[in-house]
Structure 1
Amino acid sequence: MATKNPRNEELIKLFGKNVRKYREKKGITMLQLAYACNVEYSTISTIERAIVNCSLSTAHSIAQALDISLDKLTSEDKIE
């Protein structure tokens, strides 16, 4: 039987916080980010509010749309 993947709440919250931080730094709305990532607005909203644990491919699309590396979305570094 397969083991359920653990849900890392701290990482999910940090990721959502960083998506919002870098999105705002770039000066775009959630709707604009969703369009750039080819996902629904509600997807970005739930990610930023740490409601969902998004897929790796969605995380990669967000990083590309924000023109940053994926590791910046999972680190506690300050904005440059």
Structure 2
Amino acid sequence: MAMKNPRNEELITAFGQNVRKFRLQKGLTMNELALECDVEYGAISTIERGIVNCSISTAFAIAKALDTPIEKLLTVETIK
């Protein structure tokens, strides 16, 4: 039987904070980012708040829409 993958809460939270930071730097609303990524507004909201662990394809779409290397979105730092 396959084991369930553990959630890395620190990474999920940092990813969401980085998405918000880069989205605001680009001057986009959550709705505009959602439209660029072809996802629901609520998906961006829950990602930014660190509630959900999004798929690789969604993470890639977000990075592309933000014109940011995905590595920057996956950086775990204290964001102030």
Shorter-chain TM-score bucket reads: over 0.9
Moved over 4 A (4+): none
TM-score of the two chains, using structure 1 as the length reference: 0.94
Q: State the one-letter code of the partner of 1:65.
A: A
Cα-Cα RMSD: 1.3
How many matched pairs? 78
Q: How does 1:1-80 map to 2 (within 5 A)?
A: 1-76=1-76
Aligned-pair identity (%): 64
Distance 2:11 2:26 in 1: 22
Provide the rounded CA distance (Å) in 2 between the counterparts of 1:17 and 1:42.
16
Residue 76 of structure 1: how far off its partner (Å)? 4.0
**Partner SS for 1:50:** coil
Helix, strand or coil: the match of 1:2?
coil
Superposition deviation, residue 35 in structure 1: 0.0
* Cα-to-partner distance string for 1:6-41 (whole Å, 9 max, x where unaligned): 100000000000000000000000000000000000
2:11–2:76 Cα contact (<8 Å) kept:
no
- Tell me the distance in 2 between the aligned counterparts of 1:38 and 1:63: 13
* Structure 1 runs not aligned, ≥5 long: none
1 CA distance for matches of 2:76 and 2:32? Answer: 24
